[in-house]
Amino acid sequence: MLGLGLFLFGLGIILVIVAPIGKKKNNRCSAQTQGVLREIRERYDSNGRLPSVKVYSYYVSGIEYQLKSTAINPNASRVGDQCPIWYDPKNPKNALEYRYNPNKLFNILLIIGIVLLLSPIVLAVISAGLQN
């Protein structure tokens, strides 16, 4: 029970840290341009296949940029597919291949993270009750 509690607590910490960072990047990347999926790189380790790295190219003010991502993009699944790319107007090399519904996903992740942070307390109460 202690191991599960520590695992859930650690996962909660990660979500509480990652959600605001993702939300901030999602908000910064407010301009949109057209991109093209140029390459899909398969990756493997000793345990098998890892998520593919997708390489997108896009232009802002005549300058070509590349975006590498392991995220699943519902708009581009094959090399050559065109898709919207969201970028930071102040720093176009910062980009996203998919912009999430404004902050909804990040708010959900934050709530899940907080719940997971509290889960060791719940597990301790349950464990104490089972011992009595």
107 Cβ contact list (under 8 Å, min separation 6)? 19, 23
pLDDT tens digits for range 39-91: 998 888 778 777 889 999 999 999 999 999 888 788 888 999 999 998 999 99
Over range 17-46, report the average pLDDT.
Answer: 78
Domain parsing of the chain, residue ranges: 15-116
Quote the pLDDT of residue 96: 84
Nearest C-alpha neighbor of 85 from the set 102, 70, 67: 67
Q: What is the pTM of this model?
A: 0.59
Residues 35 and 92: their CA atoms lie apart, in Å, by 13
